[in-house]
A and B are shown apart, each in its own frame.
Chain A
Amino acid sequence: MAQFWYYFFTLVFFLFDYFILAMGLNIQYGEAGILNFSYFAFVAIGAYVTGAVSLPSSVGSGQQYIFGFNMPFPFSLLAGGVACMVLALFVALIALRRLRTDYLAMVLISMSLVLYDIINNYPRLFNGADGIYNVPQPLAGVLHLTSNAFSIFFACLTGVIAMLMWLVMSRITRSPLGRTFRAIRDDPDVAAALGKGVFRYQVTSLVIGSFYAGIGGGLIMQFGGSFNPSAWLPGETFVVFAVIIVGGVGNNVGLLMGALLVEALLIHLPAFLPEIPGHPGLIEYIDGALIGIILMVMLWFRPQGLVPERIRRFPLPAGELLDRDGHSVVAPTPTETVAASAAHDASEGTVA
């Protein structure tokens, strides 16, 4: 019975965690139109940094890693988020400047492959191919939980964090900043012609999104206590894209739905199914391919997602609308037509 709850709360954890990840990618892609194909590299950095700062100094521990500050729980998580923001800033300044969408996507994918390669081959950073493990349970000294109880607790905590982050994201997307992001997504030339510094806003969206990526990654590290390169192969970014496209780009409720469907049901549920004898890993591969197929089907038949982007209506200000002279704003016709003006000018004997 305890096993069942363990499975269940693992699903719950990943539901909320991928909701956070989806919100991050959404502000980059759904709101600002940046095709960030390297998203999961940021998630990984968040995980690694959170783990590495939580652990004590690496000397004598059998693992190699940088940092090792023994940082306690919420700070270690925040460290992961901040590290990602710094990375995003760096990447944006180099790559975002003059590149159009697909060119940019190429560079971002390359960056994530190189990052993967570096971390895999330089154990001094984050313990190479073995990854970081034995990360202490957050708040272990305060609460003394068994590992199953911890799963339940942490899944719920992640839920709370997800809701808080949802509130923040809602504020942003409903503000003029969100509107400007969407304008840039729809037509960057028009946005620039209206005085918006497109580059600046793209950097902002990339940085905000990467904070969410870092937190999401840090939470994965804290939940499982370990993280290694097999957890962030290039295809993982695609899963997050699938979440937002299936659920509904630009709609936070849709993102939650997408996280439920794609992440909890499609990815993690099969992991609890027994292996097919003689074919190790086959279920995983079928799963991966299936996600790709479902995504294409969704894109074709319902590109706006299950829960489409809502039209933002503005409530009319109370009272009558008056223009600057105090007259009621009523007539749709202009105050002076061309004909009237021509007649006027003709009587004056001039053209201007």
Chain B
Amino acid sequence: MSYNDTAPAPEGPILRVEGITKAFGGVNAVNGATFDVPRNKITALIGPNGAGKTTVVNLLSGAYKVDSGKVHLGSTDITNMERHKIARLGLMRTFQLSRELSGLTVLENLLVAPKVQAGESMYNIFFRPRLVKREERQNLERALEILRTYGLYDLRDNRARELSGGQKKLLEISRGVMASPSLFLLDEPMAGVNPALIERIGGYIMDMKAQGVTVLMIEHNLNVVERICDNVIVLAEGRTLATGRLSELRENKEVVTAYLGEIINASSSH
């Protein structure tokens, strides 16, 4: 059972990033990041603040253009492709500060998500109303299902701007799931969220993996990373420092230096 749009099991990493760079003014935010994201696994992107993690996500999703380097999604070169085209290929993302579609209801937020809808074409609206109606119904059922799973069902007719911070985070994640991504980039999904909600979100992420979605998440909470991530990429000063299992990386001197305070604190408090 898979939400994945793409055809039978392709081989190799779902994302290959080769030497991407990005400078703002004189500052090199990303300075040669290279890594692969393995299929059907949950990969964490960690690193000290200012390492360029969010910029990398912005580059991958097409929000910014790379100055140099290449990005391949599956076998497609998506370097500098337009945002919405990258999204249509199955790459979804969330934002660090939740961005809900404020004037729409929770349910509508999800209903916007499916990439191509018959009802978005003027021709279909007037000349193929039954097709539109049928697709709407299918999307509605799926959206309600997802809302129930994420505990947002009772809020479905509330405007998104009325939600609490934690609910907005859930909305953003569930909206991405509704879009049937093959690769889901999560930008600090656990940030500023209470421990019980962290548990839930972690569970949802593992569900996604079970359903065939590959996840790449920026995360500072190494406890979570340890428990749910299969693979870790460490970024520092705009370039890839190391990749591998978290247990291996703890032994890596460079990583420990870059991250000095955090790893020691994480392992000592748990």
Determine if B148 and A330 form an interchain contact, defined as CB atoms under 8 angstroms apart.
Answer: yes
Determine if B102 and A187 form an interchain contact, defined as CB atoms under 8 angstroms apart.
Answer: yes
Q: Which of B121, B141, B144, B227 contacts A341 (CB 8 A)?
A: B227
Q: Which of B41, B119, B149 contacts A334 (CB 8 A)?
A: B149
Determine if A334 and B203 form an interchain contact, defined as CB atoms under 8 angstroms apart.
Answer: yes
Determine if B41 and A352 form an interchain contact, defined as CB atoms under 8 angstroms apart.
Answer: yes
Q: How far is the CB of A229 from chain B (nearest CB, A)?
A: 33
Contacts of B1 in A (CB 8 A): 324-325
- Taking the complex as formed, is B228 at the interface, i.e. its CB lies under 8 A from any CB of chain A? yes
Determine if A195 and B200 form an interchain contact, defined as CB atoms under 8 angstroms apart.
Answer: no
Determine if A337 and B202 form an interchain contact, defined as CB atoms under 8 angstroms apart.
Answer: yes
Given contacts A194-B87, A338-B227, contact A316 B203 (CB under 8 A): no
Main DSSP-derived SS at the B contact region: helix
- Taking the complex as formed, is B241 at the interface, i.e. its CB lies under 8 A from any CB of chain A? no
Given contacts A176-B132, A183-B112, A195-B88, contact A317 B137 (CB under 8 A): yes
Within 8 A of A (CB), among B185-222: 198-200, 202-204, 206-207, 210
- Taking the complex as formed, is A142 at the interface, i.e. its CB lies under 8 A from any CB of chain B? no
Contacts of B140 in A (CB 8 A): 314, 317
CB nearest neighbor in A for B223: A338
Q: Digitize A264-291: 1 where CB-to-B-CB distance is under 8 Å, 0 elsewhere.
A: 0000000000000000000000000000
Q: Which of A171, A193, A198 contacts B92 (CB 8 A)?
A: A193
Within 8 A of B (CB), among A311-352: 311-314, 316-317, 321, 323-325, 329-339, 341-342, 351-352
Q: How far is the CB of B167 from chain A (nearest CB, A)?
A: 13
- Taking the complex as formed, is B83 at the interface, i.e. its CB lies under 8 A from any CB of chain A? yes
Determine if B87 and A176 form an interchain contact, defined as CB atoms under 8 angstroms apart.
Answer: no
Contacts of A351 in B (CB 8 A): 226, 230, 245-247
Determine if A196 and B227 form an interchain contact, defined as CB atoms under 8 angstroms apart.
Answer: no
Within 8 A of A (CB), among B106-152: 107-108, 111-113, 115-122, 125-126, 132, 136-137, 140-141, 144-145, 148-151
- Taking the complex as formed, is B159 at the interface, i.e. its CB lies under 8 A from any CB of chain A? yes
Contacts of A196 in B (CB 8 A): 84, 112
Q: Which of A179, A185, A193, A197 contacts B93 (CB 8 A)?
A: A193
Given contacts A175-B132, A176-B132, A317-B137, contact A311 B105 (CB under 8 A): yes
Determine if A176 and B111 form an interchain contact, defined as CB atoms under 8 angstroms apart.
Answer: yes
Determine if A176 and B119 form an interchain contact, defined as CB atoms under 8 angstroms apart.
Answer: yes
Which interface residue of B102, B132, B202 has the most chain A CB atoms within 10 A? B202
Which interface residue of B111, B118, B198 has the most chain A CB atoms within 10 A? B111
- Taking the complex as formed, is B103 at the interface, i.e. its CB lies under 8 A from any CB of chain A? yes
Contacts of A198 in B (CB 8 A): 84
Determine if B145 and A333 form an interchain contact, defined as CB atoms under 8 angstroms apart.
Answer: no
Determine if B87 and A193 form an interchain contact, defined as CB atoms under 8 angstroms apart.
Answer: yes
Determine if A183 and B203 form an interchain contact, defined as CB atoms under 8 angstroms apart.
Answer: no
Q: Bound state CA distance, A180 and B119, in angstroms? A: 10
CB nearest neighbor in A for B152: A332
Determine if A337 and B203 form an interchain contact, defined as CB atoms under 8 angstroms apart.
Answer: yes
Within 8 A of A (CB), among B64-111: 82-85, 87-88, 92-93, 95, 99-105, 107-108, 111
Q: How far is the CB of A91 from chain B (nearest CB, A)?
A: 19
- Taking the complex as formed, is B157 at the interface, i.e. its CB lies under 8 A from any CB of chain A? yes
Contacts of B54 in A (CB 8 A): none
Q: Bound state CA distance, A185 and B1, in angstroms? A: 35
Q: Bound state CA distance, A125 and B150, in angstroms? A: 61
Main DSSP-derived SS at the A contact region: loop
- Taking the complex as formed, is A186 at the interface, i.e. its CB lies under 8 A from any CB of chain B? yes
Q: Which of B99, B116, B230 contacts A187 (CB 8 A)?
A: B99
Q: Digitize A196-210: 1 where CB-to-B-CB distance is under 8 Å, 0 elsewhere.
A: 111000001000100
Contacts of A189 in B (CB 8 A): 63, 99
Q: Bound state CA distance, A311 and B227, in angstroms? A: 41
Q: How far is the CB of A251 from chain B (nearest CB, A)?
A: 12
Determine if B199 and A339 form an interchain contact, defined as CB atoms under 8 angstroms apart.
Answer: yes
Contacts of B95 in A (CB 8 A): 190, 193
Q: Bound state CA distance, A329 and B153, in angstroms? A: 11
Contacts of A323 in B (CB 8 A): 145
Determine if A195 and B226 form an interchain contact, defined as CB atoms under 8 angstroms apart.
Answer: no
Given contacts A179-B112, A332-B149, A351-B247, contact A338 B224 (CB under 8 A): yes
Q: Digitize A94-122: 1 where CB-to-B-CB distance is under 8 Å, 0 elsewhere.
A: 00000000000000000000000000000
- Taking the complex as formed, is B61 at the interface, i.e. its CB lies under 8 A from any CB of chain A? yes
- Taking the complex as formed, is A191 at the interface, i.e. its CB lies under 8 A from any CB of chain B? yes
Given contacts A337-B203, A341-B206, contact A175 B107 (CB under 8 A): no
Q: How far is the CB of B51 from chain A (nearest CB, A)?
A: 22
Determine if B105 and A312 form an interchain contact, defined as CB atoms under 8 angstroms apart.
Answer: yes
Determine if B148 and A321 form an interchain contact, defined as CB atoms under 8 angstroms apart.
Answer: yes
Q: How far is the CB of B183 from chain A (nearest CB, A)?
A: 13
Within 8 A of B (CB), among A150-168: 168
Q: Bound state CA distance, A329 and B151, in angstroms? A: 11
Determine if A186 and B228 form an interchain contact, defined as CB atoms under 8 angstroms apart.
Answer: no
Q: Digitize B145-179: 1 where CB-to-A-CB distance is under 8 Å, 0 elsewhere.
A: 10011110100010100000000000000010001
Determine if A195 and B227 form an interchain contact, defined as CB atoms under 8 angstroms apart.
Answer: no
- Taking the complex as formed, is A149 at the interface, i.e. its CB lies under 8 A from any CB of chain B? no
Determine if A190 and B202 form an interchain contact, defined as CB atoms under 8 angstroms apart.
Answer: no
Give me the 7 closest cross-chain CB pairs, A-B, nearest first: A176-B119, A334-B203, A195-B87, A352-B230, A338-B202, A332-B151, A195-B115
> Can you identify 24 A-B contacts, CB atoms within 8 angstroms?
A168-B126, A171-B126, A172-B122, A175-B119, A180-B117, A189-B63, A190-B99, A191-B84, A193-B87, A193-B92, A193-B95, A194-B84, A194-B87, A204-B122, A321-B148, A329-B145, A332-B151, A333-B151, A335-B207, A336-B206, A336-B210, A339-B199, A342-B227, A351-B226
